[in-house]
């Protein structure tokens, strides 16, 4: 209940025009906020940036996550330690890791900038966080660094329930390592991957911290959540933007709900 | 052939470890460098003359100790509240039969997937009308509401796995439900409580959006907000050395906690996300 009330209020507010000034007068506008949103180029570009961010980062995280999970599924000395090391990026606050990476991507003194120049991926003197495409990719790199471990551990949990007899039987039958991966591993962890994928998409669609800290949403990196906060907190104190911002909040909520419903449905299937 | 494969395997493992640790290592190295060394065109991988200047400055030139205190109070209170209510609710769900259990569990899960941004605005208005903007309570209340569902969910999983027979024996001996919970169930579920408590603490400690919006004075900032908004003497000067020092200060305890409790955390994480 406590959690749902603010959501209803957001929904209700999205049909009005008003500001956060104490003397602001509410005006009912019906669906106009929503119609205006879809004519707002800044909203459309934020939507595009969010979708791009979500697809690229979640894809990379899944592939790398599967790779790391496969590595950690082998027995080797110090495995426990390596598994703990993988948790480090996850535990560091996003705000803090974003600052660490922002320093590594610094255009003059950043070590990543130097490295990328040395291996020829960027031209010397490229300001990574100062150009639209590279800035977005840098943001994705930070997100991938932070959340791949989480993905890897989820997938590892799925890998560990696969009975080893399956692999031995396949080996006897002469299946090579790739065949074993495609025919045994992948089908067995499919549902784990599906759940992890949706779980991560939910997170990626509302991304705020990394973007806000790395670029403040400049250079086409502005995501829906960042634009939403601009409307609600920066603009609504001076103009009638609060209802408009609430409409955007509702849209973000609906977008994420679609994924959440799929997620809960797949969980229920597992429960039954 | 087998040897080559093994070598490749270890190289990959080492690459993964380096990838995970390097940004943190680089933060330590940078925090120990003086400004002159920090802004050299070709950065060296170890500080030539390690200096703790930046660590001193973080506390002298800005109220970073106050920020740490704010975070400890907010995250600590949130954890205590969440564990208290979460274990009561979790026990109820795990042990008592009531109608619509699945609906309750699904809605609990739905709330935990809430995008915070979509309630940011109305929460701000609500907190403002309660005069809770710029107070600890203004963060503790939303944090507790956000973390409680998942905690309840994970804890009821732990409770369900505890043997029922001990509780039944207690009931026969005339032990009340409340007493059974506090003297028998909770001590048995201690490992689960530690794991979920730690997860709650970390998520409250790391939260950024609400903290940025509901605390608007620098001496009320929590740690992530303070580090994100570190300002230099002029607009164009970013105090990187100090930012890195502050990052190291708040990250080291987290990393130690994670290394100690890694097994429990992994259990808690996968219980929340997969087990259902």
**pTM attached to this predicted model:** 0.86
Whether the CB of B185 is below 8 Å from some CB of chain A: the reply is no
Least confident of A15-24, A47-56, A65-74, A127-136: A15-24
Tell me the chain A residues in contact with residue B154 when contact means C-beta distances shorter than 8 Å: none
pLDDT of residue B225: 93
Tell me the chain A residues in contact with residue B38 when contact means C-beta distances shorter than 8 Å: 109
Please tell me whether residue B49 adopts helix, strand or coil conformation: coil
| Chain-chain contact of A111 with B43 (C-beta, under 8 angstroms) | yes
pLDDT of residue A96: 92
Q: To which residue do tokens 């209510």 refer?
A: B85
pLDDT tens-digit readout, A43-96: 999 999 999 999 999 999 999 999 999 888 888 888 878 888 888 888 889 999
Confidence of residue A271 (pLDDT cuts 50, 70, 90): low
Q: Mark which residues 189-218 of B lie under 8 Å from A by CB.
A: 202, 205-206, 208-209, 212-213
pLDDT tens-digit readout, B222-252: 999 999 988 776 667 788 888 999 999 988 8
Set out the domains of chain A in order of their start, with CATH numbers.
4-271 (1.10.3720.10)
Set out the domains of chain B in order of their start, with CATH numbers.
52-275 (1.10.3720.10)
| Separation between Cα atoms, residue A137 and residue A147, nearest integer Å | 15
pLDDT of residue A2: 59
pLDDT of residue B73: 95
Tell me the chain B residues in contact with residue A10 when contact means C-beta distances shorter than 8 Å: 118-119, 121-122
Contact A139, A53 (CB under 8 A): yes
| Chain-chain contact of A82 with B17 (C-beta, under 8 angstroms) | yes
Whether the CB of B112 is below 8 Å from some CB of chain A: the reply is no
Tell me the chain A residues in contact with residue B24 when contact means C-beta distances shorter than 8 Å: 88, 92, 100
Q: What beta strand segments (E) does A126-217 contain?
A: none
- Long-range contacts for B101-106 (Cβ within 8 Å, ≥24 apart)? B102/A268, B102/A271, B105/B153, B105/B156, B106/A264, B106/A268
For A32, A169, B155, the CA distances from B150, given in Å and listed in that order, are: 36, 40, 8
| Count of other CB atoms within 10 angstroms of residue A135 | 21
- Which of A100, A157, A271 lies at the smallest CB-CB distance from B27? A100
The residue-averaged pLDDT of A188-201 equals 81
Residues sharing a CB contact under 8 Å with residue B23, sequence separation 6 or more, in sequence order: A89, A97, A100, A101, A104, A145
For A148, A207, B136, B219, the CA distances from A143, given in Å and listed in that order, are: 8, 9, 29, 29
pLDDT for residue A39 is more than 50: yes
Could you tell me which chain A residue has the CA closest to the CA of B238? Answer: A103
| Chain-chain contact of A91 with B10 (C-beta, under 8 angstroms) | no
Could you tell me which chain B residue has the CA closest to the CA of A95? Answer: B224
Please tell me whether residue A98 adopts helix, strand or coil conformation: helix
Please tell me whether residue A28 adopts helix, strand or coil conformation: strand
Mutate to test the interface with A, among B67, B122, B236, B247 (most CBs of A within 10 A): B122
To the nearest 10 degrees (0 to 180), the angle between helices B101-112 and B136-161 is 140
Could you tell me which chain A residue has the CA closest to the CA of B222? Answer: A95
Written as six digits, the tokens of B196 are: 């979920």
B174–chain A nearest CA distance, Å: 35
pLDDT of residue B98: 66
Confidence of residue A97 (pLDDT cuts 50, 70, 90): very high
Dmax (CA) of chain B? 76
State the sign of the Cα–Cα–Cα–Cα dihedral B88, B92, B93, B98: negative
> What element of type H or E holds A17?
strand A16-17
Please tell me whether residue A175 adopts helix, strand or coil conformation: coil
pLDDT of residue B268: 65
CA geometry: angle at A20 spanning A18 and A22, to 5°?
100
| Chain-chain contact of A76 with B270 (C-beta, under 8 angstroms) | no
Contact B68, B250 (CB under 8 A): yes
CA geometry: angle at B26 spanning A129 and B31, to 5°?
100
The residue-averaged pLDDT of A7-23 equals 82
| Chain-chain contact of B250 with A93 (C-beta, under 8 angstroms) | yes
For A45, B75, B130, B135, the CA distances from A217, given in Å and listed in that order, are: 11, 28, 31, 28
| Chain-chain contact of A264 with B255 (C-beta, under 8 angstroms) | no
For A256, B158, B160, B167, B272, the CA distances from B188, given in Å and listed in that order, are: 37, 10, 12, 11, 20
pLDDT for residue A270 is more than 80: no
Written as six digits, the tokens of A182 are: 């495609």
pLDDT tens-digit readout, B168-212: 787 788 778 778 777 877 787 787 788 888 888 988 998 999 999
> What element of type H or E holds A27?
strand A27-28
pLDDT of residue B210: 93
To the nearest 10 degrees (0 to 180), the angle between helices A132-159 and A190-205 is 150
The residue-averaged pLDDT of A242-266 equals 84
Q: How far apart are the two ends of chain B, measured CA to CA in Å? A: 43
Contact A77, A97 (CB under 8 A): no
Question: ipTM score here?
Answer: 0.85
Average pLDDT in chain A:
84
Whether the CB of B11 is below 8 Å from some CB of chain A: the reply is no
> What element of type H or E holds A16?
strand A16-17
The residue-averaged pLDDT of A178-187 equals 81
pLDDT tens-digit readout, A215-237: 888 888 888 888 888 888 888 88
A195–chain B nearest CA distance, Å: 7
Indicate the DSSP class of residue B132: -
- Which of B106, B117, B208 lies at the smallest CB-CB distance from A249? B117
pLDDT of residue B276: 34
DSSP B149-202: HHHHHHHHHHHHHS-HHHHHHHHHTT--HHHHIIIIIHHHTHHHHHHHHHHHHH
Higher-pLDDT residue of A264, A133: A133
Which stretches of chain B score pLDDT less than 70? 1, 97-101, 105, 109, 112-113, 233-235, 267-276
Could you tell me which chain B residue has the CA closest to the CA of A74? Answer: B9
| Chain-chain contact of B113 with A202 (C-beta, under 8 angstroms) | yes
């Amino acid at each position: 209940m406590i959690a749902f009330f603010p959501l209803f209020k957001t929904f209700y507010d999205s049909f009005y025009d008003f500001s956060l000034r104490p003397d602001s007068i509410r005006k009912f506008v019906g669906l106009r906020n929503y119609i205006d949103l879809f004519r707002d180029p800044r909203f459309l570009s934020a939507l595009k940036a969010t979708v791009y961010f979500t697809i690229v980062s979640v894809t990379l995280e899944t592939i790398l996550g599967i790779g790391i999970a496969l590595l950690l599924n082998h027995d080797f000395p110090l495995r426990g330690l390596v598994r703990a090391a993988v948790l480090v990026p996850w535990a560091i606050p996003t705000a803090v890791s974003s600052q660490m990476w922002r320093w590594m991507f610094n255009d003059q003194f950043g070590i990543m900038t130097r490295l990328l120049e040395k291996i020829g991926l960027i031209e010397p003197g490229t300001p990574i966080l100062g150009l639209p495409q590279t800035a977005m990719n840098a943001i994705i790199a930070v997100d991938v660094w932070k959340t791949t471990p989480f993905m890897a551990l989820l997938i590892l949990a799925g890998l560990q329930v696969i009975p080893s007899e399956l692999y031995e039987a396949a080996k006897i039958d002469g299946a090579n390592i790739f065949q074993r991966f495609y025919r045994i591993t992948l089908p067995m962890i499919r549902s784990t991957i599906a759940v992890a994928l949706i779980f991560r998409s939910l997170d990626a669609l509302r991304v705020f911290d990394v973007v806000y800290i790395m670029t403040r949403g400049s250079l086409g990196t502005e995501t829906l959540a960042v634009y939403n906060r601009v409307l609600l907190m920066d603009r609504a104190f001076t103009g009638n933007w609060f209802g408009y911002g609430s409409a955007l909040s509702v849209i973000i909520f609906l977008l994420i709900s679609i994924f959440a419903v799929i997620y809960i449905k797949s969980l229920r299937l597992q429960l039954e | 052939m087998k040897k080559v494969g093994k070598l490749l395997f270890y190289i990959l493992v080492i690459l993964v470890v380096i990838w995970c640790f390097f940004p943190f290592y680089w933060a330590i190295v940078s925090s120990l460098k003086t400004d002159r060394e920090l802004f050299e065109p070709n950065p060296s991988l170890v500080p030539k003359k390690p200096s703790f200047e930046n660590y001193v400055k973080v506390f002298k030139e800005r109220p970073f100790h106050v920020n740490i205190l704010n975070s400890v109070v907010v995250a600590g209170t949130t954890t205590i509240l969440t564990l208290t209510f979460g274990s009561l609710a979790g026990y109820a769900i795990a042990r008592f039969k009531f109608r619509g259990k699945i609906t309750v569990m699904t809605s609990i899960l739905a709330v935990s997937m809430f995008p915070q941004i979509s309630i940011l605005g109305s929460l701000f208005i609500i907190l403002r009308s309660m005069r809770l903007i710029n107070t600890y309570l203004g963060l503790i209340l939303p944090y507790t509401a956000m973390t409680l569902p998942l905690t309840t969910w994970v804890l009821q999983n732990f409770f369900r796995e505890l043997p029922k027979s001990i509780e039944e024996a207690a009931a026969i001996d005339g032990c009340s439900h409340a007493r059974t919970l506090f003297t028998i169930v909770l001590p048995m579920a201690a490992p689960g409580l530690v794991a979920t408590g730690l997860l709650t603490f970390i998520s409250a400690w790391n939260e950024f959006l609400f903290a940025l919006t509901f605390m608007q004075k620098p001496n009320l900032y929590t740690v992530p907000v303070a580090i994100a908004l570190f300002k230099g003497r002029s607009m164009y000067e970013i105090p990187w050395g100090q930012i890195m020092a502050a990052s190291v200060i708040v990250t080291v305890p987290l990393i130690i906690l994670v290394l100690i409790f890694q097994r429990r955390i992994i259990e808690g994480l996968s219980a929340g996300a997969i087990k259902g």
